[in-house]
A and B are shown apart, each in its own frame.
Chain A
Amino acid sequence: MPTTQELIAISPEIILALWALSVMFLDLLIAQSRKSILAYWSLLGLLLAGGAEFSLWGREEILFQGAFVQDNLSLFLDLVLLLATGLSLLMAKGYIKDLEMEHGEYYTLTLFATLGGMLMAGAGDLLIVFLGLEVLSLSLYVLSGFRRTEPMAQEASLKYFLLGAFASGFLLYGIALVFGSTGTTLLGGIAVAITEGGLLGDPLLLLGLGLLGVGLSFKVALVPFHMWTPDVYEGAPTPVAGYMSVVAKAAGFAAALRIFLSAFLQLAGDWTLLLSLLALLTMSGGNIIALAQSNMKRLLAYSSIAHAGYILLGVIALNSWGLSSVLFYLAAYGFMNLGAFAVIVALRDGEREYLALNDYAGLGSRHPLLALSMAIFMLSLAGVPPTAGFLAKFYIFGAAVQAGYGWLAILAVLNSVLAAFYYLRVIVIMYMREPAGQVAKMTHSPALALAIFLAVIGTVQLGLFPAAVVELAQASLFPFLGS
Chain B
Amino acid sequence: MEAFFWVVAIPATVSAVGVVMMRDTVYSALLLVVHLLAVAVLFVLLNAQLIAAVQVVVYAGAIMVLFLFVIMMLGLGRGEGVKEKLPLQRPVALLFGGAMAILLGVVMSQTTIQPVAGALTPGDVLAMGGNTQVVGRLLFSDYLLAFEVTSILLLVAIIGAVVLAKRRL
Contacts and interface: CB of A to CB of B under 8 A. Distances in A.
Interface of A: 2, 17, 24, 63-65, 67-68, 103, 105, 108-109, 112, 115, 119, 125, 127-128, 131-132, 134-135, 138-139, 141-142, 145-146, 148, 157, 180-184, 193, 197, 202-204, 207
A105 B152 contact: no
A67 B142 contact: yes
B164 A105 contact: no
Interface size class of B (residues with CB under 8 A): 20 to 34
Interface in B114-151: 114-116, 141-146, 149-150
A203 B142 contact: no
Contacts of A67: 142-146
Contacts of A127: 143, 146
B93 interface: no
Interface string B67-111: 000000000000000000000000000000000000110111011
Interface string B50-79: 000000000000000000000000000000
A109 B160 contact: yes
B159 A105 contact: yes
Given A108-B159, A138-B153, A181-B114, 12 more contacts: A2-B144, A64-B144, A67-B143, A103-B169, A109-B160, A112-B152, A112-B156, A128-B145, A128-B149, A148-B163, A157-B164, A181-B113
A135 B156 contact: yes
B157 interface: yes
B110 A203 contact: yes
A450 B13 CA distance: 59
Contact of B149 (A132, A139, A182): A132
Contact of B152 (A65, A115, A181): A115
Contacts of A2: 144
B146 A142 contact: no
Name the prevailing secondary structure of the B interface residues.
helix
Contacts of A197: 114
Contact of B113 (A128, A131, A204): A204
- Nearest first, the 4 A-B pairs at minimum CB distance are A183-B116, A142-B160, A64-B145, A204-B111
A142 B116 contact: no
B99 to A, nearest CB: 13
Given A65-B141, A127-B146, A131-B146, A207 B159 contact: no
Contacts of B103: 207
Contacts of B141: 65
A108 B159 CA distance: 9
Given A197-B114, A203-B110, A135 B149 contact: yes
A105 B163 contact: yes
Given A65-B141, A138-B153, A145 B164 contact: yes
Given A128-B146, A207-B103, A142 B164 contact: yes
Contacts of B116: 182-184, 193
Contacts of A207: 103-104, 107
Choose among A145, A182, A184, A203 the residue with the greatest number of B CB atoms under 10 Å from its CB: A203
Nearest to A32: B169
B153 A134 contact: yes
B152 A135 contact: yes
Choose among B141, B152, B156, B164 the residue with the greatest number of A CB atoms under 10 Å from its CB: B156
A211 to B, nearest CB: 10
A109 B111 contact: no
Nearest to A113: B156
A212 to B, nearest CB: 15
B143 to A, nearest CB: 7
Contacts of B108: 204
6 contacts: A67-B142, A135-B149, A135-B156, A142-B164, A180-B113, A203-B106
Interface in B18-43: none
A142 B163 contact: yes
A183 B160 contact: no
A112 B113 CA distance: 38
B159 A146 contact: no
A139 B103 CA distance: 34
B152 A68 contact: no
Nearest to B118: A183
A203 B164 CA distance: 42
A139 B156 contact: yes
A371 B3 CA distance: 74
A1 to B, nearest CB: 8
A325 B5 CA distance: 53
B125 to A, nearest CB: 17
A142 B159 contact: yes
Contacts of B157: 138
Given A138-B157, A183-B116, A207-B104, A68 B145 contact: yes
